[in-house]
Copies of this chain bind each other. A is one copy, B any other.
Amino acid sequence: MAENFSRAGNSADTTPCSACAVRDHAICASLDCHERKEFIRLGRQVTIPKGQMLMWEGEEAALVANVVEGAMMLTTSTSDGREQIVGVVYPSDFIGRPFGKESPHNVTALTESRLCLFSRSAFDKFARSHSDLEHRLLRRTLDELDRARKWMLLLGRKSASEKIATFLLDISRRLARKDDQDGPAPLDRFILPLGRQQIADILGLTIETVSRQLSEMKGTGVIALPDRRTVEILDRPRLEALAEQA
């Protein structure tokens, strides 16, 4: 299934990890030099083109991966086609469903992405015998759970304008460490890895409502929209007020 992805790893390079940008942030950080060599032999580096799906909801969960570069989304949908994005992952994040039979959601590349890809069965076995790796995966999963639950408050209880404001603040924080090597300060200007429809699918809105709310905020001078993919936050305090920050 994944055989047609281009192999990015150069076979002359014995340790692709040494040049890895996310080595110290991903779950691999728990491994020492020797373990890492063993681990890397189980997987391979692949590049996924924008828009390509890597895992399917309900299919066998055959793969897991670390995101090295790019952005991907996790989605589910109802039988009649309504979609909901249930997560967006960035470099150093982990994807796939360890210790599970089937994938609980679709995984699709939002931008061209580089991954460190493993078969789930090999990963599971390795993880079970390296408890530091499991520990790190546990912490990551607990963080993801917190994030998902916080998002449930947004989906269930916030208005369209609050949703948009919260989304912009959230993404400005999450993009901070990646696009520029800017430190942890949130960005005031960034390029969305998502189109309008995808923003709608994250927030539980329609594309028209997203568009209208963004135009509204542009009109009141809270943000600027230099082009359709770029957002500039002009008045962060006002945006935070709109988001009803908890």
Interface residues of A (CB under 8 A from B): 74, 76-80, 82-84, 86-87, 97-100, 104-105, 128, 131, 134-135, 137-139, 141-142, 144-146, 148-153, 155-158, 201, 203-204, 244-246
Contacts and interface: CB of A to CB of B under 8 A. Distances in A.
Contacts of A137: 138
A203 B83 CA distance: 18
Nearest to A74: B149
Nearest to A244: B78
A156 B99 contact: no
Given A134-B131, A158-B78, A246-B77, A152 B100 contact: no
A151 B152 contact: yes
A36 to B, nearest CB: 19
11 contacts: A76-B153, A76-B246, A78-B157, A79-B245, A83-B157, A97-B146, A99-B138, A99-B142, A131-B135, A138-B141, A141-B141
Contacts of A144: 145
A158 to B, nearest CB: 7
B246 A79 contact: yes
B244 A149 contact: no
B244 A86 contact: no
Contacts of A156: 84, 155, 201, 203-204
Contact of A84 (B77, B138, B148, B152): B152
A203 B80 CA distance: 20
A153 B84 contact: yes
A87 B148 CA distance: 11
B84 A157 contact: yes
A188 to B, nearest CB: 24
A79 to B, nearest CB: 6
Q: Could you say which of A76, A156, A244, A245 has the most chain B C-beta atoms within 10 Å of its C-beta?
A: A156
A63 B17 CA distance: 38
Given A76-B153, A86-B149, A141-B142, 8 more contacts: A76-B246, A77-B246, A84-B152, A84-B156, A99-B138, A134-B135, A155-B204, A156-B204
